[in-house]
Amino acid sequence: MINRRGILIAGGAGITAAGSGAIVGVAGGWQLRQYLSNRATPFLDYNQPGGILTKPDLSTMTNLGHTVSASKSLAPDAFWHEFINQVTKYQNGYLDLYGRLAALLNDSAQNLQRSKFTQMSRNQCDAVLRELLDTYSGSESQARRLEAFRTTRLVSSLRELVIGPMLQHYYRSSYGWRVVGYSAHPGIPQPHLLAYTEIMKRT
């Protein structure tokens, strides 16, 4: 199977050798874009059954939840256990995906810090994620496209299929709402109406 370096060289050679036949270069560029698009597209195998993660894998993914959430309002392990178990048990494909991502995080942690992901500090875990994922805002579409040159389908799945839903779950909870200044979960009445005004002044 041709590797990434091989496909880049092949694509470049096609463009250079085109000369009078520009079609070759266009075809090489199109094939390169298709290759990068396919290799970086998140994928979930719905044929894989649901179930519960092993304790080590559950611990790894729980630590991922702690790492991507806000440090000033950390949720307990039970919060992440419940979320992860609901996802892997009732949605086909996620048990397999979470298991493979737990292995990826631990392998990356071993390479970077000579430790397991679950045994690292929050800052160390964050460093592992920064090695795997590019950092950019939601509006930086060019940066998202450039990430395709170095990422893999599994890493894209980490960002899109796991971290994204984790953050949505967190910020819909009382822990996430505390980050933006609410002292109670949305829908729970405040002691007095002026409390909402004071909250909005602080945010």
- Which of 31-40, 53-62, 135-144, 181-190 reaches the highest mean pLDDT? 53-62
Query: Token pair for residue 167?
Result: 């953050």
Q: Is residue 166 pLDDT above 80, yes or no?
A: yes
pLDDT at 35: 47
pLDDT at 181: 75
Distances (CA, A) of 149 to 38, 64, 65, 69, 203: 11, 25, 27, 27, 38
Q: Is residue 6 pLDDT above 50, yes or no?
A: no
Section 164-179 average pLDDT: 93
Section 188-199 average pLDDT: 43
Better-scored residue on pLDDT, 15 or 72: 72
* Residue 17: count of CB within 10 angstroms of its CB: 11
* Residue 95: count of CB within 10 angstroms of its CB: 20
Section 153-164 average pLDDT: 94
pLDDT at 113: 85
Q: Are 61 and 54 in contact (CB under 8 A)?
A: no
Taking the C-alpha atoms of residue 4 and residue 126, their distance in angstroms, rounded to an integer, is: 27
Percent of the chain with pLDDT over 70: 62
pLDDT at 27: 43
Q: Is residue 170 pLDDT above 50, yes or no?
A: yes
Residue 180 pLDDT grade (very low, low, confident, very high; cuts 50, 70, 90): confident
Q: Strands of the chain (E only): list them.
A: none
pLDDT at 4: 38
